Structure 1
């Protein structure tokens, strides 16, 4: 009669999280630590937002350079603008001003995320989710192709921004200055 011995248990790998975690552990608030070093996820998320700003500048620059060709297309109609050369230039300046304003707000949000403001991190993530959803619905409803020269770069940057800034370390860093008062348990002195 042979007795079998169970195989030896391997200790878990250090610093490795399990694939599934209980919701209570995930929702546990982070501790108050104003001296927490800036994690790589905040740096990466900020760099990706800055890349998104650079990509927007490139798009606005190419729009300005190719404006005459765009206006010459018979399928393009500028509703609300005079079709004269002055009107088309006004439309270009309007587009550049609107795009520049959005890019300046994105740049400001990147700086605030880098400095550790949680509300800015959440706003950037909401914008990324909106952009990803817009690309998905354009593909689903209108059959718009996701190509390298149209939506692929912005879509991939938004996904990477969302992944970086939704990480635990980014959330802990952004919330490091929040005081959380622990409730007093009855019977504990």
Structure 2
């Protein structure tokens, strides 16, 4: 009864072969893509901050209005948000700095940074979904479409086997 059929696999055994760890492994494209996407997310935050602080030119407002499907020229200012400029810049500056640091750590092969970025990306996607589902928030180019799409791409890149193997290449077994 304790015999196992040689062709059967245990339910908890992974289907794919285990990844071989190699400390001399070259940085895979998935890790580079994930790190660059996190850095692009930081840049997108800076661009969004600039659009809140400085009004867009009329031609760009028309393009942004057409891109989100509303046909309106809408601008968001600090007074609309009800925030002090110092607090606004401080919080967004800190977020941008943290994203840039995590992007650099990803490129250097940090597994902790990889896992944290994947968790934050998952939470960001879930938050955007909950806002759409429960609160009726629109997902447009002007709101969360760019961040959600970058988060999805980051998750796809960093959850690959190559990215995991590269991030875990120096771990002891």
- Report the TM-score, using the length of structure 1 for normalisation: 0.70
> Is residue 2:54 matched to residue 1:65?
yes
> Is residue 2:150 matched to residue 1:157?
yes
How big is the shift at 1:31?
3.0
> Is residue 2:21 matched to residue 1:32?
yes
> Is residue 2:114 matched to residue 1:121?
yes
Q: In the superposition, relative to structure 1, how do residues 136 and 96 fare at CA in structure 2: closer, same or farther (>3 Å)?
A: same
Return 5+ residue gaps in structure 1 as ranges.
1-21, 79-87, 181-189
Aligned to 2:141: 148
> Is residue 2:166 matched to residue 1:176?
no
- Could you say which structure has the larger radius of gyration? 1
What's the RMSD between the two structures over aligned residues? 2.2
Aligned to 1:7: none
- Of residues 115, 121, 124 in structure 2, which corresponds to 1:131? 124
* Equivalent residues, number: 144
- Return the alpha-carbon distance in structure 2 between the equivalents of residues 69 and 137 of structure 1: 22
1:30–1:176 contact (8 Å) kept in structure 2: no
Q: Secondary structure at 1:148's aligned position in 2?
A: coil
Return 5+ residue gaps in structure 2 as ranges.
1-10, 56-74
- Report the TM-score, using the length of structure 2 for normalisation: 0.76
Aligned to 1:83: none
Q: In the superposition, relative to structure 1, how do residues 113 and 69 fare at CA in structure 2: closer, same or farther (>3 Å)?
A: closer
How big is the shift at 1:64?
1.7
1:164–1:170 contact (8 Å) kept in structure 2: yes
